[in-house]
Chain A
């Protein structure tokens, strides 16, 4: 029996550097993993971005700490469906993704007049 509520620990989560994400996700894809989604949370100095993958219902995560205001490579070149959630994180947390094929410029949910990222205390979406 596989747990459906998985507490994140060392076994299922690998902490990686921002520049490793694309290569590691390509490796996971070659192993047959499916991209589920990405989550993010605000930490003190950085944004924690989690990539969730699953294969035969078993969950595997990649955890990346992105310093506030810095860029990270988009994994949309590996899993094309990631563009939507990357746009969401960009809008809510101000994490910039390099090379999203369909970039909403931080306007996936909100309108142009929204200047700040709502889920992140110091983020600024547009200058």
Chain B
């Protein structure tokens, strides 16, 4: 008896759920999602690697690479705040599910070749 009102209301209102994947929820402005890097700005200092609680970031100064294991990333955003040049950022959405594990690697293009071209 207590539920009658709720049941009637539920019949007359729209669905509480969405028809995902056809209808997707709008994300919030400050959601923490997939970790991305702007490799141009990166100075390969390795602060992100040191601060990461799940130790999913690897920075190699010699090879000029920045590597992240997206499967161990916990979306805490510590690296984003710690980055001295603010080259790391988080997307609003989580990374989509994939069938196989892989690492995301970025290689920095040598700056020497880029700079003379501009001048």
Do A and B contact each other directly (Cβ–Cβ < 8 Å)?
A: no
Mark A residues whose CB is within 8 Å of B: none
Mark B residues whose CB is within 8 Å of A: none
